[in-house]
Amino acid sequence: MPQYTRPGQVAPFNLAHWIGWWIGAGAAKVGQEVEHLAQRARHSSGSERADWVRRCIIASGVVLSEFALIRLFEPQPDSIPTLIGTWVVIFFLPRPTPRIPLWFARVAAFVATLGALNAYWKIASSSWPALREWDGAFTISWGLLSFGMIVWVFLSFRRKGTSAAVAQVGVADAERQTVARWSNIPSTKFRDVGGCELAKKEIGSIADNRLRVKRNGRVSNGILLYGPQGTGKSLIAEATAGEFQVNFLHVRCPDLVGQVVGATGAEIRAAFESAAANRPVVLFLDEIDSIGSRRQAQGQGTDAGGAGREYNTVTTQLMSAIDKYRSLDGLLIMAATNQLDGLEPTLIREGRFDVKLRLDLPDEAGRKEILGTLLNQFRVRPFDLTDVAKRTPGWSPAKLKALVDRAAEIAGRSPVEGRHLVEALERAGGRDRPQFERVEWDDVVLPEAVVHDLKALIDLMRPGRAQKLSLPAPTGLILTGAPGTGKTLTVRLIATQADRSFYSLSPSDVLSGDVGGSTKKLREAFARAKEHAPSILFFDEMDGLFPNVHGPVSQHDVQLVEQALIEISALKPEHNVFLIGTTNYLDRVDLRILRGGRFSEKIEIGVPNGDGYRKLLSRYLGTARLAESLRVEDLVSRLQGMSPADFEATVTAAKRAAMRRMRSNADVLPPLELADFELALSRVQAHF
């Protein structure tokens, strides 16, 4: 009996095995076809399935109507009207035609064609007897035509190719191709991207080469966008697809990384196959550094396999996919990264990425253009954007978009005006306050002259106030004075009343044992203050951070002071960063730090006056009482001249001294006597 052998094996030379092999191969082919249809059903979208049902209903209705009309009006299947009708139906079926209705339509055309040929040959040979000599030739021709039309009929069930793109990448890939067709043409165009004129011009040149037909055979592909985050790399890639009215495939490369060995490479191949099957298309590889970082060294003493080998394989697979698909017409490859130095050099060489464009943070003119472009999306009452553009240095397009969106929310249903944008700008910063405690005016006791100076300074920090008065606020302020006079508390008071972001740096926060670590921390502090402006950058104990470099000092101190000078000099009024420092020894601070334009203002925080001490005494006594023999004036006169910190310590020590006279389980301190304060002074050893 027939025996089945697998399709990949060679069948033995006997009839039973030969027949069995073909039966088994046929069954396997049917199974493959079923699996193919199941794959298409799983990967097709809802709209694609609905379109297939529509075409199936239309095609089936047309074929059934054909059979009904032939049965009703032409009982003879070999008539000329039947022949014409069956062929007309085939050409008018919807494309692509579902297989079953197409098979029935071809069967009808097959029967009508062969029947008509046979019938009219008989009529012709009866009318012209000389034609009977050609009966043999007609029979052979009729048989060959019958065989050819039978093959044609059953070709209705052949698997259709996915696209011309698959044919270009190989027959083997075409057999595996199950990628669903989709359409994603963005509405964003180059005019919706503010600034970046040079970048848009160069991208347009490369896109024109790949997305439009060229006859010179030149292949220029691969655009790598790099630069700080939020500069619009993804937006300009999407706008490229919208500008040329092609599909946009946004691939987030971190999502391609799999947990199983080989899974990442398969995901990379699938992404490129999907792009090739849906041309014309812009394939955008976002965060490409996650799959294209520098390859690890392999060899003795290194990770010769395992994770290191898979890591390198992923990068190699990405390069292979780019080489394979970059020459396809209608496919433009774009990628983006924030870390250009971390990419594998062979990945970004010419021939893979022919153009590398850096997108920097926009300048004032660029910010003005970006703001105008973003505002075009809303109803706007025209106003000048120059002031807002000046007040947003270092802002990325993404941050500017958030600003415009916030202004639109403030405007509500009204047209967006300049005041809405300014209000949104004032709300945008000043909220980054790590480990910040609010301090109110009642919490500090300062000399009256100092209070007036601080209130004037805080008034100048209000948005727009300095411009109105033509009196710019100083760039930096140093609070000096004896230890314990409340300099740090005064700084927190300024930060609270000015409603700004606040960053406090002490020597222990900045100084690092690593080479270059201290300067790096200083750069990061200035960068964060500018990013979250308006802000206050507070340097506590400045003499420890920026010592006078004259004399025998370490190279580390020199580098730290030089870096501070660079960062302070780079600050501009529009950065809206106010510097405050405190020191007990002003003469120990580098003189270059203290010059005008840096820390130009110096305010000495002295000890309080008599009213100030009375206020401090009332605060620190709390529920405790003074003895009748001890007057407040006498006590203030005795303690006047010490710092507020020493004053608090003295009152606290006096209260503890009074506890020696308390009765057991008493809940109230006995009245404080002068002896208690004398004992406290001997313990605290306050300086007057």
Higher pLDDT, 410 or 78: 410
How high is the pLDDT of residue 240? 93
| CA–CA distances in Å: residue 205 to residues 348, 399, 685 | 19, 29, 79
- 555 pLDDT tier (thresholds 50, 70, 90): confident
Average pLDDT over residues 239-265: 88
Closest CA to 154 of 41, 244, 33: 33
- Neighbouring CB atoms inside 10 A of 420's CB total 23
Q: Residue 136 pLDDT > 90, yes or no?
A: no
* Amino acid (1-letter code) at residue 148: G
How high is the pLDDT of residue 29? 60
Q: Residue 305 pLDDT > 70, yes or no?
A: no
* Amino acid (1-letter code) at residue 390: K
Task: Mark residue 188 as left, alpha or beta (left: phi above 0; alpha: psi -120 to 50; beta: remaining).
Answer: beta
- 171 pLDDT tier (thresholds 50, 70, 90): very low
How high is the pLDDT of residue 369? 87
pLDDT, tens digit, 9 for 90 and up, residues 39-64: 556 545 566 677 778 888 888 888 88
Which of 127-136, 242-251, 675-684 comes out lowest in average pLDDT? 127-136
Q: What percent of the chain has pLDDT over 70?
A: 82
How high is the pLDDT of residue 164? 35
How high is the pLDDT of residue 7? 42
248 has which bridge partners?
282
For residues 355 and 223, is the Cβ–Cβ distance under 8 A? Answer: yes
Q: Residue 371 pLDDT > 80, yes or no?
A: yes
How high is the pLDDT of residue 551? 60
How high is the pLDDT of residue 224? 94
Q: Residue 175 pLDDT > 70, yes or no?
A: no
Mean of the per-residue pLDDT values of the chain = 79
How high is the pLDDT of residue 167? 35
CA 410 to chain CA centroid, nearest Å:
26
How high is the pLDDT of residue 149? 84
Closest CA to 325 of 278, 362, 293: 278
How high is the pLDDT of residue 321? 92
Can you list the domains of the chain with their CATH numbers? 44-157 (no CATH), 190-294+307-358 (3.40.50.300), 364-428 (1.10.8.60), 441-604 (3.40.50.300), 610-684 (1.10.8.60)
Higher pLDDT, 309 or 632: 632
d(CA 297, CA 396) in angstroms, rounded, equals 37
Which of 29-38, 426-435, 464-473, 554-563 comes out lowest in average pLDDT? 29-38
How high is the pLDDT of residue 356? 92
DSSP character string of 99-160: HHHHHHHHHHHHHHHHHHHHHHHHHHHHH-GGGGGGHHHHHHHHHHHHHHHHHHHHGGGSPP
- 311 pLDDT tier (thresholds 50, 70, 90): confident
How high is the pLDDT of residue 250? 93
Q: Residue 217 pLDDT > 70, yes or no?
A: no
Task: Mark residue 17 as left, alpha or beta (left: phi above 0; alpha: psi -120 to 50; beta: remaining).
Answer: alpha
Q: Residue 688 pLDDT > 80, yes or no?
A: no
pLDDT, tens digit, 9 for 90 and up, residues 2-45: 443 444 444 444 566 656 656 666 666 656 656 656 655 654 55
Give the three-class secondary structure for 471: coil
For residues 384 and 334, is the Cβ–Cβ distance under 8 A? Answer: no
Which of 23-37, 52-66, 138-152, 627-641 comes out lowest in average pLDDT? 23-37
How high is the pLDDT of residue 2? 40
Higher pLDDT, 363 or 354: 354
Q: Residue 330 pLDDT > 70, yes or no?
A: yes
How high is the pLDDT of residue 37? 61
Which class for 394: exposed (0-12), middle (13-18), buried (19 or more C-beta within 10 A)?
A: middle
Higher pLDDT, 308 or 112: 112
Q: What are the residues whose beta carbons fall under 8 Å from the beta carbon of 315, sequence distance 6 or more? A: 291, 292, 293, 295, 344, 347
d(CA 382, CA 360) in angstroms, rounded, equals 28
d(CA 666, CA 647) in angstroms, rounded, equals 26
Closest CA to 251 of 286, 200, 227: 286
- 304 pLDDT tier (thresholds 50, 70, 90): low
- 500 pLDDT tier (thresholds 50, 70, 90): confident
For the entire predicted model, the pTM comes to: 0.57
Q: What share of the chain is helix, strand, coil (3-state, %, to 5)?
A: 55, 10, 35
